[in-house]
Structure 1
């Protein structure tokens, strides 16, 4: 538990300073307040309404695996909560500090050990910024084909901690598909290297135990991850459909015929207005953005095949220029002034399910929000942005322009909307989240998703983290 008396705090600080240096244990109030939150709406609302948001006692900034291990040994011994933090770009409260303790800021751990241009493998520390990393790779004709909307503020380790996804995941996979191995400091201070390669028959794979664990099972301190060459050619197309059903059917046919577009994003009418028209597109209705890439002849042939499929499904080609415009402005929607923010109440209630269930899921969630919450005049938009051979994900948002004035009432409304939408997801074969993570926001619903599975995760947590200090309150795991 967090120490409360002066000499206990002073002792803890001196122990930590001995490991990472005096300059890298930060106790200033303003810094601690910033480190208490990520992009989780509730914490920002709570702060803005003048309510108390628990802060960490210190921010600790290690530079090496050895320093992380030393910090973990101290915190394990004295039962100090530890919240690992990358860029702080998460929206689920995964880097918030509801139980105090320390924030383990990994920003100094930004070293690249090696870029293997023969095997196309990156070996690096987890704290390197996404944009900095991408620029360095691009200079060598390479890319980490992740490209999340948070690339300017997120970190390599954060990609893995929440099983993140980028705009080209349909072809290149999510972060969990790209990673080859990780080094992890366990809550006791022990260091674990997973097997060098993820494809093996050498017993159960431990890699994916830590990918997506959101700092609850240990601290990722080194990453080996697949790279890709920058493609020689990219081809674009925008397609307008009569409705969402036709667009989903076109996407299903593309994927079940085993084509591999790098990007395929279907926008409903509301998302076309918010995401496309607001960024300069001259389209309306339901629209699909498609990008193929690779060698010029292959990218062109694949696009031609996709164009035949979408027109079979009632799509009208809106032109390559509209598709290329999307690529150039793909991050604009996720930045000010287009990115929503407090005091507006909003949330991305996304999930993933199979092709048979995706349209009923979309229709049920849209109806729920417009009917049950009609008094709050909610807006609902959706796009379908990450496609698999068996199904697709829905990136859908609700917006409430005038939430309750009371902090507690706003919190209650926020949580109820999330619970209702999440239960629609589960009833239609979906999961609680596809690529933003669970954090504090959805942890309380984890046992509804899989009671037995959640119990097993808790048992693993208790084995690895007997003092229960790692990122307490996240993933719905017991304190």
Structure 2
């Protein structure tokens, strides 16, 4: 378990929030982005400042050691960490919140809690690290139930086994990224999965949301690294998939729960594929005059069969912001390249990548202050804290991501960016849009956009919603996914129909009706089927 304090009304840990020096440097940078001076800051409230409705669920004495209706615990688990979540917390009154927070430390405790929830007619929301930015853990819209129980998995954080020969780790779903990495490192292995929420997100959360990490060109999505799962179902059954390197006995059962976001049961432990601890590491930054040239270099690199361990591309605006935060200036786009290996030198691969980049106008940076890779890496984990600080100044600041085919680029980049700029102008009188490629494949890549605009304190939620609607419509128009790795949650639920076949949505509801007939697990998450009832079989007299 970590020894820092979770921020109840902001991102991450209280101890890691932006320092006074960082905030001082932020003001001129944000003022330049917004085209003027920032309004005075208004600090986020504390948990004690927030009003909640009284708990509706009396806690039985037999479960008092794993249940609490403590005010601060309910506030901490009431919302994820999306921009609208933070805005809602700053209003200091939540009309919907979990009645009880449960923290089981074993599967038996979890089964007892789920049994009590069933008897209490309570909805259940599985909760990992709480870093959801899509409304996946919010206690909202559950009025049909007599109460809401948020199920924190963070006490189920044990390392159960490490299989060195198979290079896998079996760990509890509640274990956080740093603890998992530390445990396998002692055995000569590494996870090397670094989402931006790495320090306070959980293994089970990664799997339940189909997350992606920082060093992930070859192992992009977490579902590709899941060897097996153990899941507790609301009816008391336990499903455990078999540990295998591969198989073809029907549909892969792991994929039923990867991305399920707690709607089909509670993931309690995961067998995860690791890598050998890297012994050889090389990397560099490559500068390009423009983003499309860098995109084309990345396409040719991957389609040549060269897969860097890390491949990121910052467009000129993202590059500029990362350098401004370090007190420096920048022009053009920047590609961040890194290769790792446990057993063979990788200098030749780096040189081959540099050669391909050079064919598209790329210029290898020499390191030091001239190499923007260090500035970007230093700001990567700090960026959500930057969002919190800018929200103090009434900034409308958020990100969204999509994945598109190479054949849709660079048109998708330019088109999506322009539509969001237009929305910023309409809603906020201007602003800035940045983009970076966070994950790349032989057939396409993930475009991760950020937007910054001056807001009005009394209209932040509506301004944000209008901008996000414009972004979602643009993503759909250019053939992208609603979410590459942030998950569906409640935020993307309405857009799921643009990419999920109706028959698949019906199948999801069919699975739910068998596993959770009362629909108590994270209700309101799955997209509703188009038809209220399933069609009768052909030839049936029904």
Q: Is the 8 A contact 2:127 2:150 kept in 1?
A: yes
Q: Deviation at 1:324?
A: 6.3
Aligned ranges for residues 323-362 of structure 1 at < 5 Å?
325=374, 329=378, 331-334=380-383, 336-337=385-386, 342=391, 343-362=394-413
Number of equivalences = 466
Q: How does 1:224-373 map to 2 (within 5 A)?
A: 224-279=271-326, 283-294=330-341, 298-321=345-368, 322=371, 325=374, 329=378, 331-334=380-383, 336-337=385-386, 342=391, 343-373=394-424
1:35 aligns with 2:77: yes
CA distance in 1, matches of 2:77, 2:98: 7
Residue 348 and residue 335 in structure 1: after superposition, are their counterparts in 2 closer, same or farther (change >3 A)?
Answer: closer
Counterpart in the other structure of 2:105:
63
Give the deviation of 1:338 after TM superposition: 6.8
Give the drift of 1:468. 1.1
The answer to whether the aligner puts 1:9 opposite 2:57 as a matched pair is: yes
1:470 and 2:521 correspond: yes
Deviation at 1:431, TM superposition (A): 0.9
RMSD (Å) for aligned C-alpha atoms? 2.4
**Which of 475, 478, 481 matches 1:431?**
481
- Residue among 244, 256, 266 paired with 1:197: 244
Deviation at 1:372, TM superposition (A): 3.5
Give 1:115-126 correspondences, 5 Å limit: 115-126=162-173
Alignment partner, residue 16 of structure 2: none
List alignment gaps of at least 5 residues for structure 1. Answer: none
Equivalent residue in structure 1 for 2:431, among 369, 378, 386:
378
| Structure 2 unaligned spans of 5+ | 1-52, 533-542
Compute the displacement of 1:203 (Å): 1.7
Aligned to 2:535: none
Q: Which has the higher helix share?
A: 1
Aligned position for 1:388: 441
- 1:274-300 CA deviation, whole Å, 9 max, x = no partner? 234424676432111100111585410
List structure 1 runs of 4+ shifted beyond 6 angstroms. none
Counterpart CA distance in 2 for 1:75 and 1:191 is 17
Match of 1:405 in 2: 457
Q: Distance in 1 between matches of 2:486 and 2:410?
A: 21
TM-score (norm 2): 0.81
Say which SS state the counterpart of residue 115 (structure 1) adopts.
strand
Per-residue CA shift, 1:266-322, capped at 9, x if unaligned?
111110022344246764321111001115854101000000000000111112553
> Offset at 1:186?
1.4
SS at match of 1:411: helix
1:459 alignment counterpart: 510
Aligned match of 2:464 in 409, 414, 420?
A: 414
Q: Deviations over 1:318-352 (max 9, x none)?
A: 12553762586264433534766534222222011
1:197: how far off? Answer: 2.1
Q: Hey, what does 1:94 align to over in structure 2? A: 136
Tell me the SS of whatever aligns to 1:169. Answer: coil
What do the CA deviations read for 1:203-251 (whole angstroms, capped 9, x no partner)?
2111011011111111000110011112111111111111111000000
Q: 1:296 and 1:185 mapped to 2: Cα distance?
A: 39
TM-score, normalised on structure 1? 0.91
Tell me the distance in 2 between the aligned counterparts of 1:383 and 1:327.
Answer: 11
Whether the 8 Å contact between 1:198 and 1:207 is mirrored in structure 2 is no
Deviation of 1:374 (Å):
1.0
Deviation at 1:65, TM superposition (A): 1.6
Relative distance call for 1:358 and 1:70 in structure 2 (3 A) is farther
Answer yes or no: is the 8 Å Cα contact 2:190–2:277 preserved in 1: yes
Give the Cα–Cα distance (whole angstroms) in 1 for the partners of residues 395 and 272 of structure 2: 38
- 2:200 corresponds in structure 1 to 153
Deviations 1:139-173 (A, max 9, x none): 33321121112111111111111111111110233
Q: What secondary structure sits across from 1:292 in the alignment?
A: strand
The answer on 1:79 being equivalent to 2:121 is yes
